[in-house]
Each structure stands twice: as C-alpha cells, then as structure tokens.
Amino acid sequence: MGSSPDSSRDGTADSEARAARGVGARPVGLFGGTFDPPHAGHVHLAESAQAALGLGRLIFVPAARSPHKPAPGAPGEASAAGDRLALLEALCAPRIDWSVSTVETDRGGTSYMIDTVETLLAAGELGAAPPYLLLGGDQLPGFHSWHRLEDLLALVRPVVVHRGRDAAGQLEALAASLAPELAAPLRAGFLDLPPVDISSTELRQRLGRGEDPGADLPQEVLAVVRARSLYGFKPREATPQGEVKSGGPPG
C-alpha cells in the first residue's frame, strides 16, 4: 500500500500510466466512506454513478475515522484500516478504472473530505475537470456540518445518490438550510436510483451469525473476510444429515 499523497492503488505519478487511467480526460469520481465491509449497495452506487456521469476513474477513499461514526474504542468502532483497505483492494482488483486511495488512512485521525480533495488535487491525481463527489442520500442530514463545506463545494461536484425512501425530500430540506450557492450544486447533482437496501452494519451482523451473505457481499470481498477472519464470520457447516450447524460468532 502506498503512503504518498499519490496513493491510489495503481498510483504511480508516471504520465503514461496516468493517461492510461484517464486522468485529465474523463472526470474522476471520489467515493468516501467507512466500507466496513464494502458491499453490493456501494457497488450499485458506484456503477450507476459511473455510467450516469461518464467517469473515467472512480477512487474509493476509506476514512481513517469518520466524523459521523463511533470513536475508537467505542462500541461499533470501525475495523482496522488495514482490513478495510484489503477488502476494498479486493473489490477494485478486477476493475481497471476503480482504485483505492490511502490518503485518509495514511493521514490518520478524523477524516475530512476537504483535506483529502486538497491533497489529491495538489498531487495532480484528479485530472483537469472538477471531480465528482459521490454521496449516499443518508449522508444528507449531517452534510451541512461537514468540515469547510463551502471550500469543498468549490472544488467538487457533489452527486447525491438516492438511498433512503425520501432522499429527494431530505435534499430539499438540506438545500433550504444552505446558502443558495451551496444548495444549487447539490440539487444539480441529484441522481435518482432504485435504492438497494443493504448496509455494512447489517452485513456485519449477518456475518457474525455465520450467515452466507449471498449477492449482498461481492465474492472477492467475502474471500478477504474469510482469509482475515473478520466480523467473527464462521460459515455454517452442513451436517451429514443435511442440517445446517451455525459456526456463530466467536465465543
């Protein structure tokens, strides 16, 4: 895993490699989150936004610590950054135009998207066109309090992807509480997609019970869950009589 600001998975600064990755040509999408684990809902959002916006590249940015999630040591604290990076690396490996940035996990502490965007821009990683910032609709209620929001919205094009049942309503409520120049790009970037009801929280619980997550967790991600024994996952075993015995969470 690279540790420089230019630390997307295939992130050499070499201009040929950058041209091959589409830097400077089609716009780049940034997708931040905890990704604990990355799941089919994230893939749905990423693929849909990529197709709708014509993104040349999509960069997943796992947070060291999200300002909106439990603090280190608190119940529900995120898994180790190394594990979450490995899960995302596996997800992105088969896709040439998806990569993982270690900017936030290298920086450590609370992760703010404005710091990340400034770092990646300074490293020339985001191409000529302003990058898109992908946001699930559930991020809207707290969006007005994001660190240096005005600066962030001056640098990125936000794209709000419908997730909850009433993303449009939430968007309007948020837009009404923001200055018009901040509300306009949010409204402009609204993408209405059929919601996929999957969350990392629910998946961690299912894996902890030994349930097979099926299509909700990409196979390559499940392979890393198994290899690293994450989330207490022990697959249920079929007995010779055909019953299913729960592996269950670790005792």
Which residues in this chain contact ligand ATP in the complex, by CB under 6 A? 33-36, 41-42, 44-45, 135-136, 138-139, 161, 163, 196, 198-201
- Taking the complex as a whole, how short is the minimal distance between the CB of residue 74 and ligand ATP, in angstroms? 13
CB-CB contact of 158 with 188 (8 Å): no
- Taking the complex as a whole, how short is the minimal distance between the CB of residue 197 and ligand ATP, in angstroms? 6
- Taking the complex as a whole, how short is the minimal distance between the CB of residue 240 and ligand ATP, in angstroms? 37
**First and final C-alpha spacing in the chain:** 33
- Taking the complex as a whole, how short is the minimal distance between the CB of residue 31 and ligand ATP, in angstroms? 7
Task: Please state, in angstroms and rounded to a whole number, the distance separating the CA atoms of residues 172 and 54.
Answer: 26
- Start-end of H helices in the chain: 15-20, 40-53, 81-92, 103-107, 113-122, 140-143, 149-155, 167-176, 180-188, 200-208, 219-227
CB-CB contact of 41 with 196 (8 Å): yes
Task: Please state, in angstroms and rounded to a whole number, the distance separating the CA atoms of residues 91 and 62.
Answer: 13
- Taking the complex as a whole, how short is the minimal distance between the CB of residue 72 and ligand ATP, in angstroms? 15
- Taking the complex as a whole, how short is the minimal distance between the CB of residue 106 and ligand ATP, in angstroms? 18
Is the CB of 45 or the CB of 153 nearer to ligand ATP? 45
Is the CB of 134 or the CB of 175 nearer to ligand ATP? 134
Is the CB of 45 or the CB of 64 nearer to ligand ATP? 45
Is the CB of 66 or the CB of 124 nearer to ligand ATP? 66
What is the residue-wise DSSP string for 95-144?
Answer: -TTEEEB-HHHHH-SB--HHHHHHHHHHTT-S-SSPPEEEEEGGGHHHHT
Residue type for 200, please?
Answer: S
| Closest residue to ligand ATP, based on beta-carbon distance | 136
Is the CB of 72 or the CB of 251 nearer to ligand ATP? 72
Is the CB of 206 or the CB of 236 nearer to ligand ATP? 206
